[in-house]
Chains A and B, each alone.
Chain A
Amino acid sequence: MTRALLLIGHGSHLDANSSRPVFENARRLRATGAFDEVRPAFWKEEPSLARALDGCAASEVTIVPLFMSTGYFTEQVIPREMGLDGAVTVRGGQTVRYTPPVGAHPALARVIVARALEAGATAGDAIAVLGHGTPRNPNSERTIYEQTERVRATGRFAEVTTVFMDQEPAMGGVFERVAAGTVVMVPLFIAEGWHVGQTIPEELDIHGPSAREDGRRLIYARPVGTHPCLSDVVLELASEAARW
């Protein structure tokens, strides 16, 4: 039996940074030796979702979406483009296992906490988990709220709340949602691309790692997708899928 891991990313036609975390995770996971081959595949880059399995000769393939929420891409686009029948697809002597996205796994809460601590969060601070959000798919927000609950359950921070970029509650109103003087906002995004690097800081009027507003402080953490521990979440997902 040979094992392959396919890491799925969104990719971009316009921004080279979008797919870097996928390549970086592939490199890191290749180095673990846990799989005979580790390959990336993308919606908007190459190898494409539609053809990625052309390059997988392994008898067992595990597909892990590096997406932050369950929704349109994980439920519709990826299965359609890759010709998947569901969680397990058996075709031509090859078994393909399709896991939930990294963003939905309980272990991601550890990465959120790690990002918050790196940014300087202390016990008295508030953590704002920032999701993309979309009014088009209710499943998308559910994943983000579940991660917020997991971070809250650690008991490490005074307050933990959820805000979104593209839906309510909006990130711009974060100070109204918590009482703490310092809020550490952790983006549940994969890449330091257009949103994390440009649109979000612009909307929050934050130039640098932190900003002050009416005597309160907003710290903007790095996205969870570029944290080295994301590879551990992938390994956990793949390990769980192997038992299906």
Chain B
Amino acid sequence: MVSPALDGEVTVTMGELFLRFGADEAFLEGPGANPGEREIDPEPDAIREFARSDGRGRYRPLSGARTLPRNWHARFATLDALTAAVDAIYPLAFEHIAAYDEGRLRVVPLEDVLARQSGRYASASEISERGRAIASASLCAGCVRAPVWRGAGVTEGAIPCPEPCSVLVSLCREVAFWERDRPERREADPSCVYAAFEQPGNEIREHCLALLENSDG
């Protein structure tokens, strides 16, 4: 896929990002049709801070969530600087892509991750097979990382995800509760905090509850 606006010679897609390599400089572009609209500070700390909120200012605890701010770009004088910026947005993406390509990526399935939880998250392991499928479908469908831990393939531009993240573990805990004691569904509210799964109206919560309801009986 070719990025739409800025000049450059070679473009690589990584998640929602476009990496463009020109003769003298490299560009990183966010999603959206007008990356030239806004130039942002290329320093990794500044890029990370920028990418920690979505376009509405909502905190993004899941780096791979397809909610990056739209229509921006940053310029880099070196490939190392570009790499550091991408790592600030998608931590470990380069390492996991390389390990996957070389067949040495250590993959840990959801079952193992849930089994080792303790304290507040010990109850996450009580989730059913159906609940696991619903939780991962609801969260991972909106993430640029391909869940190779559940056997997913890695298509061009995707980043392999070797192990379920803490956000999915947290969601599994809630789904396990909902399987025992189903709360009422509410209309999804995009203003709800992204990972506040206990909050009625949270988009991922309501999606899970709808799937649970549809799979009943």
Q: Which residue numbers of A lie inside 8 Å of B, CB to CB?
A: 11-16, 23, 27, 43-48, 50-52, 54-55, 72, 76-77, 80-81
- CB distance B61 to A13 under 8 Å? yes
- Number of A-B residue pairs, CB cutoff 8 Å, is 62
Interface of B is mostly: loop
Which of B62, B116, B163 meets A51, CB within 8 Å? B163
* Also in contact, A50 and B91, with CB within 8 A (given A12-B61, A14-B61, A80-B116): no
Known A-B contacts: A13-B194, A47-B91, A47-B92. Give 11 more (CB < 8 A).
A11-B61, A13-B195, A14-B59, A14-B195, A23-B45, A46-B92, A48-B163, A48-B165, A54-B92, A77-B119, A81-B116
Q: Contacts of B95 on A, CB cut-off 8 Å?
A: 54-55
Within the complex, what minimum Cβ distance (angstroms) separates B101 from chain A?
Answer: 14
Instruction: Please pick, from B48, B92, B166, the residue contacting A44 in the complex, using a CB distance under 8 A.
Output: B166
In the assembled complex, how far is the CB of residue A177 from the closest CB belonging to chain B, in whole angstroms? 30
Given the complex, which residues of B lie within 8 Å of A54, measured CB to CB? 92, 95-96, 99, 106, 162
CA distance A76 to B194 in the complex (A): 28
B116 touches A13 (CB 8 A): no
Residues of B close to A50: CB separation below 8 A? 108, 113, 163
* Chain B nearest Cβ from A190, distance in angstroms: 17
Q: A135 → chain B, closest Cβ, in Å?
A: 13
Can you show 13 pairs from A to B with CB atoms below 8 A apart?
A11-B61, A13-B170, A14-B196, A16-B59, A23-B48, A27-B45, A45-B166, A46-B92, A48-B165, A50-B113, A51-B163, A55-B91, A55-B95
Residues of chain B within 8 A (CB-CB) of A14 are: 59, 61, 193, 195-196
Q: What are the residues of chain B within 8 A of A81 when measuring CB–CB? A: 116
Query: Which of A47, A54, A77, A80 has the largest count of B CB atoms less than 10 A from its CB?
Result: A54
Question: What CA separation (Å) do A54 and B161 show in the bound complex?
Answer: 12
Contact indicator per residue, chain B 160-174, by CB within 8 Å of chain A (1) or not (0)? 001101110010000
Q: Is B52 an interface residue (CB 8 A)?
A: yes
- Chain A residues near B92 (CB-CB < 8 A): 46-47, 51-52, 54-55
Count B interface residues, CB 8 Å: 30
In the assembled complex, B11 has its CB within 8 A of some CB on chain A = no
A16 to chain B: which residues have CB within 8 Å?
52-53, 59
Please measure, in the bound complex, the distance between the C-alpha atom of A81 and the C-alpha atom of B108, giving whole angstroms.
Answer: 12
Instruction: Write out the residue numbers on chain B whose beta carbons fall within 8 Å of the beta carbon of A44.
Output: 61, 166, 170
Cross-chain contact of B59 among A15, A27, A43, A52 (Cβ < 8 A): A15
A52 to B96, CA, bound (A): 11
Q: What is the distance, in angstroms, from B54's C-beta to the closest C-beta of chain A?
A: 11
CA distance A50 to B91 in the complex (A): 13
Question: 1/0 per position for B103-142, CB-CB distance to A under 8 A?
Answer: 0001010000100101100000000000000000000000
Contact of A45 among B61, B96, B108, B118 (CB under 8 A): B61
Residues in B with CB closer than 8 Å to A15 are 59
Contact of A46 (CB < 8 Å), options: B53, B91, B170:
B91
Contacting residues, chain A, for B96 (C-beta < 8 A): 51, 54
Inter-subunit contact B167/A13 (CB<8 Å): yes
B63 within 8 A of A: yes
B62 proximity list for chain A (CB < 8 A): 46
Task: Tell me, in angstroms, the Cα distance from A191 to B92 when the chains sit together.
Answer: 24
Give the shortest distance, in Å, between A17 (CB) and chain B (any CB). Answer: 9
Q: Mark B34-74, 1 if CB is under 8 A from A, else 0.
A: 00000000000100100011000001011100000000000
Expressed in whole angstroms, the minimum distance between the Cβ of B37 and any Cβ of chain A is 24
- Shortest distance between the CB of A20 and any CB in chain B (Å): 9
Q: How far is the CA of A52 from the CA of B166 in the complex (A)?
A: 13
B195 / chain A contacts, CB cutoff of 8 Å: 13-14
CB-defined contacts of A51 to chain B, threshold 8 Å: 92, 96, 162-163
B95 to chain A, nearest CB (A): 5
**0/1 interface trace, chain B 82-99, chain A, CB 8 Å (1 if under):** 000001000110011001
Chain A residue contacts of B116, Cβ below 8 A = 80-81
CB-CB nearest 7 A-B residue pairs: A13-B195, A47-B91, A13-B61, A16-B59, A46-B91, A46-B63, A44-B166
